[in-house]
Structure 1
């Protein structure tokens, strides 16, 4: 008798599929494994267009180069993040903009909106949002005093940023930080740590970092996302140490 119970796969719809992908992501599985070794860094081989008998080959369509310039004011930037020009514009769901004062002393950056955030109309809602509010209150802060944003304006499938746009989204996040120019930046979760610091959360935690941007310098602290703390309450003590480090940076 097997250890795993059987289940009916008939109702395996899109929501359930996304839930399963979430589970594997949380378990640390982030790539597919094939039977034969594959060079993932090799360029994709060119493929000849399919031409039906008697049909003339179609002319190649011009490929537009990706835009490199970003709006240089916060209002224009936030509007751009919700526009069709943003990298996530073709993803499912709705885009959520940042909230909070433009001149906030503390900026908070997460990976992406959660599934319930679209209905709530703000990043960090539901149970993770309630825990986040308690974290801010413990620091003597509130949503009205901090600038909250996400690396991805929309939630990618399974909550994981596609590798093809990860670098571009990191550039956009850093540009956002430069427009706000906060004294402190709190990164919640691994994806936010990679985007800003270029390192995994396990290596980023435990000390403050400093990043340069066009408006000066900002102290950065990385800690666990509230959704992780809900699943692993024992990590709250370590997270509190990180929050105390943020408080010290803001007072300095």
Structure 2
């Protein structure tokens, strides 16, 4: 065996190649060849030193103030807000698909917020259609509510390409969702799914579940409960018992 390691000449897979490049980069190698040839046998040239020349300090310059962009004001009436959510000014206007507006009474005691429309909701023309919608209707009936009595909305007016709220728009869409809650001023707020929980509570669903949260807004305060989205309950029926516990907390709040 020789002292110099040998490598298989077969092509390296991308992960191994990236690992080797990272190793050389960490070792300080940042180029393969130089532009000009170098005489490696020549004697090193001693550097020439110069006496420092005193510099006259330049007059201080006052930096121009940086102007922060003015925040986009959201409509302060529900009718104008819902119209704006469907306009080209909304953050999701450039996404594929159609925008779906919120439904239900403006003075509803219960507001329900989900993450985004499902794939079939655009054709149906409403948020929560198909099998998730039928399960949602049964959940509402179990607490004495219906689509006619609740205000139903989504964090995203259109469905994102990957089905998840884009990270670069998450903060903006969360501000819009909380503004929407303030316009409705519901006594109870049901947040279905992780994206809805993050938008309003700033907390992951796994941590938010199981207790009420006071949500302050410019028009007062609402009590929120976070629970599983109906599409999750269809995939994981065992979670329905936990969902029912969440709904019971909500029932107690609405009964006050």
TM class by shorter-chain length? Answer: 0.7 to 0.9
Distance (Å, rounded) in 1 between the aligned partners of 2:209 and 2:189: 13
Match of 2:105 in 1: 101
Q: Which runs of 5+ in 2 are unaligned?
A: 1-17, 23-68
Q: Among residues 163, 173, 178, which one is paired with 1:174 in the alignment?
A: 178
Deviation at 1:158, TM superposition (A): 1.6
Q: Does 1:134 align with 2:138?
A: yes
SS in 2 for 1:222: strand
Q: Once the two structures are superposed, what CA deviation does each residue of 1:69-112 show, in whole Å capped at 9, x if it has no partner?
A: 10000000000000000000000000000000000000000000
**1:106-185 matched pairs, under 5 angstroms:** 106-185=110-189
Q: Among residues 196, 208, 214, which one is paired with 1:210 in the alignment?
A: 214
Deviation at 1:66, TM superposition (A): 7.2
Q: Does 1:244 align with 2:244?
A: no
Distance (Å, rounded) in 1 between the aligned partners of 2:140 and 2:71: 36
Q: Does 1:193 align with 2:197?
A: yes
**1:37-116 matched pairs, under 5 angstroms:** 67-116=71-120
Provide the aligned length of Structure 1 versus Structure 2.
193
Distance (Å, rounded) in 2 between the aligned partners of 1:144 and 1:227: 21
Distance (Å, rounded) in 2 between the aligned partners of 1:189 and 1:178: 20
Distance (Å, rounded) in 1 between the aligned partners of 2:137 and 2:123: 18
SS in 2 for 1:108: strand
Q: Which runs of 5+ in 1 are unaligned?
A: 1-33, 38-64
Distance (Å, rounded) in 2 between the aligned partners of 1:242 and 1:141: 15
Distance (Å, rounded) in 1 between the aligned partners of 2:93 and 2:103: 19
TM-score, normalization by structure 1: 0.74
Q: Once the two structures are superposed, what CA deviation does each residue of 1:2-26 show, in whole Å capped at 9, x if it has no partner?
A: xxxxxxxxxxxxxxxxxxxxxxxxx
Distance (Å, rounded) in 2 between the aligned partners of 1:240 and 1:66: 44
Query: Over alpha carbons, which structure has the higher Rg?
Result: 2
SS in 2 for 1:217: strand
Deviation at 1:157, TM superposition (A): 1.0
SS in 2 for 1:107: strand
